[in-house]
Amino acid sequence: MNAQAQAVNLSSDDLLTGAEWNAAQVRELFRLATDVKAHPDRYKTALSGRHLAMIFEKPSLRTRVTFEVGITSLGGSAVYLDHAETHLGDRESIPDVGRCLSRWVHGIVARVFSQQGLETLAAHATVPVINALSDVYHPCQTLCDFFTLEEKFGSARGLKFAYVGDGNNVCHSLLVAGARVGAHVRVATPVGYEPDAEIVAAARRDAAATEGSIELFRSPEEAVSGAQAVYTDVWASMGQESETDARAKIFAPYQVNAKLMSQAAPDALFLHCLPAHRGSEVTDEVMESPRSIVFDEAENRLHVQKAILLTLLS
């Protein structure tokens, strides 16, 4: 089987928000990820000779390991650039970084503080740029999340999906991806922590085309009622550590615990992008329950990101 022939035909060379890919393209990506997961040997030389630059301004376990293992297992190689101390644009301009890397590598994976900086990088790079997390989006994670749910339920179309917590980058990308797979996405946040209104509006337009829906709630119980999937994330994201104590008080009613899960459907599954702060946004009881699929999500980061690399670097 020709691995490259299965790559998704995309109009955009980058994955910056997830909105670049329409519903049909996401469906093709999932089909490719399924084949990659089932038949990894078919793809072990698919990206032979391809080199990936990995710029990480923030800490990472799952994203770094899965991209590095992913490109290597496809026959390519990765160069890791630790910018934890020197952020993009500090030592040299972001446009210059993009131009230089484009002369040496075939793709750039970037975990950054600023979505704007990421988009500047992509605008000046002549190779694909992949968002490995920014302050606004985390598309690789949420594509993996809905891929995992399709494995469990057969399809995410019509799935009742509840997100409880901060309207952050993960929440934004869940809205984008959920709209594309036709899920009914419900988001519950405290006052002042809602997802970006423009992202919500765009997701609602996209959901209308896939017969999905986007709803915002204040009550976590209302959002979770009857849901088949319940998702949460940390209350203070990377870069918001100074707000941890204040947010803990505000978000306490949004903890995913056994009582909240009891409001969901009997077959409801629990998801978390990890790392989890057990005892804060989620309890140990939920994390370690048979309903939890957090480590299935973590595994699938590898397979979905391999499919992304095949799509963009082939």
Catalytic residue numbers, as ranges: 111, 138, 141, 233, 273, 301
Q: Which residue has the tokens 């490995």?
A: 132
What letter does residue 153 receive in the DSSP assignment?
Answer: H
- The C-alpha angle 67, 73, 78, rounded to 5 degrees, equals 45
Return the structure tokens found at 95: 């446009």
Q: Which residues contact 248 (CB under 8 A, 6 or more apart)?
A: 235, 280
How far out from the chain centre does Cα 48 lie?
26
Instruction: Check: CB of residue 162 under 8 Å from CB of residue 183.
Output: no
- Measured at the alpha carbon of residue 174, what is the angle toward residues 149 and 256, in degrees to the nearest 5? 75
Residue 17 DSSP symbol: S
| Strand-strand pairing, 184-188 and 51-56 | unpaired
**SS3 helix, strand, coil % of the chain, rounded to 5?**
45, 15, 40
Distance, CA of 199 to CA of 190 (rounded, Å): 18
Q: How far, in Å, CA of 233 to CA of 208, rounded?
A: 26
The amino acid sitting at 8 is V
Nearest to 185 by CA among 169, 152, 208: 208
